[in-house]
């Protein structure tokens, strides 16, 4: 092991290796935009499946018939069998797991079973891997108590990893909706002023905004389905606000509910909310721009100034060394 490390740290081996890694990273960076899959069609297909589930659920509720299987994303048999066999739903089910999954863009029984499966498997994998490495392969010179603590820490990290992944996915989805929502409001305002109903306006906006934000297009399409099949239209608006959890969306939901209940002019309210959303987006951009100089201070001191001093003082030092 030591001989291999010394061999890898030799300059004639390390420099070509680093050059190859840099070349590979450059090629991957240039190729990733061309290799990225188009997720719009896949997400819109999932929304269409969700619309079918809503239609079937409402028909079953009205007919008071026995529940039948709903079309949608099917669970993997392996994951489903493990979750049912070990009754993981009762032991590892997260509070409000369906709401968190919906906020992250995952819907259906398959998503919940997959989450519970990974909550059970990831801690075990990390615990076993850490135990094997620290107690058999390399103890790293630590005492027994420290190694036990490291294994416990790895297990805890494994328990939290699925939740962290969900939170990050939901945050990324909210940011995507927040950036695209002012433009969607402008499109919605144009549709309403043209005399199009709210359902058709949502459908048209979802078709147009999908290139900018797949998440927003998916939520608007699902809201269109709920407006068509739920008995209460306000419930569809409230579901949109709960799934997205963005202040601008909550504001527009309030406007739509007021227009639905009191008959207030919708176009003027949409115009005001759209202007406020654009102002908010511009304020956030200005805030990030104002915070950029302090963040660049340390990188400039550490990386740029030494190179600048070398470039400026290098020729002078060379001339002085030639004289003396």
If asked whether residues 236 and 153 sit together in one domain, one would say no
User: Is 217 part of a structural domain of the chain?
Assistant: yes
pLDDT in tens, 2-26: 666 666 566 666 667 777 777 777 7
- Rounded to 10°, the helix 266-290/247-262 angle is 170
User: Is 40 part of a structural domain of the chain?
Assistant: no
If asked whether residues 55 and 168 sit together in one domain, one would say yes
User: Is 258 part of a structural domain of the chain?
Assistant: yes
Distance CA 253, CA 238 (A): 7
If one counts the domains in the chain, the total is: 2
Distance CA 324, CA 316 (A): 13
pTM of the predicted protein model: 0.63
If asked whether residues 71 and 164 sit together in one domain, one would say yes
Distance CA 133, CA 138 (A): 6
Both tokens of residue 260?
């639905």
Across residues 282-296, what is the average pLDDT? 86
User: Is 101 part of a structural domain of the chain?
Assistant: yes
User: Is 14 part of a structural domain of the chain?
Assistant: no
The pLDDT of residue 131 is above 70: yes
If asked whether residues 237 and 143 sit together in one domain, one would say no
If asked whether residues 234 and 121 sit together in one domain, one would say no
Residue numbers of the domain that contains 129: 47-173
If asked whether residues 277 and 192 sit together in one domain, one would say yes
Across residues 43-51, what is the average pLDDT? 67
Q: Which residues of 162-200 are buried (b: 16+ CB within 10 A; e: fewer)?
A: beeebeebbeebbebbbebbbbbbbbbbebbeeebebbe
pLDDT in tens, 167-218: 898 899 999 898 888 889 899 999 988 888 888 898 889 888 888 888 888 8
Helices (H) then strands (E): counts for the chain = 15, 0
Judge contact between 45 and 218, C-beta under 8 A: no
Closest-CA residue to 144 (of 136, 132, 135): 135
Secondary-structure percent of the chain, ordered helix, strand, coil, rounded to 5: 85, 0, 15
Distance CA 21, CA 29 (A): 12
């Amino acid at each position: 092991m030591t001989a291999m490390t010394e061999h890898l740290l030799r300059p004639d081996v390390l420099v070509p290796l680093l050059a190859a890694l840099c070349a590979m990273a450059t090629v991957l960076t240039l190729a990733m935009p061309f290799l990225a899959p188009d997720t719009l069609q896949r997400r819109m297909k999932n929304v269409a499946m969700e619309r079918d589930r809503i239609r079937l659920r409402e028909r079953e509720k009205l007919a008071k018939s026995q529940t039948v299987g709903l079309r949608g994303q099917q669970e993997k048999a392996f994951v489903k069998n493990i979750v049912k066999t070990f009754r993981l739903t009762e032991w590892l089910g997260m509070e409000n797991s369906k709401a968190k999954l919906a906020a992250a863009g995952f819907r259906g029984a398959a998503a919940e079973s997959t989450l519970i499966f990974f909550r059970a498997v990831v801690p075990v994998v990390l615990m076993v891997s850490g135990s094997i490495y620290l107690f058999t392969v390399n103890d790293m010179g630590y005492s027994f108590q420290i190694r036990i603590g490291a294994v416990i820490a790895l297990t805890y990290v494994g328990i939290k990893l699925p939740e962290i992944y969900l939170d990050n996915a939901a945050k990324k989805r909210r940011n995507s909706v927040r950036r695209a929502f002012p433009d969607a409001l402008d499109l919605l305002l144009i549709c309403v002023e043209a005399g199009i109903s709210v359902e058709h306006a949502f459908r048209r906006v979802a078709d147009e905004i999908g290139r900018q934000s797949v998440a927003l297009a998916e939520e608007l399409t699902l809201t269109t389905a709920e407006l068509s099949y739920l008995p209460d239209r306000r419930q569809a608006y409230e579901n949109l606000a709960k799934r997205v959890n963005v202040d601008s969306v909550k504001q527009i939901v309030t406007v739509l509910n007021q227009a639905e209940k009191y008959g207030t002019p919708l176009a003027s309210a949409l115009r005001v909310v759209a202007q406020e959303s654009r102002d908010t987006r511009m304020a956030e951009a200005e805030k990030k721009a104002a915070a950029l100089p302090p963040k660049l201070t340390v990188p400039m001191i550490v990386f740029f100034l030494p190179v600048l001093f070398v470039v400026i003082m290098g020729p002078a030092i060379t001339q002085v060394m030639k004289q003396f």
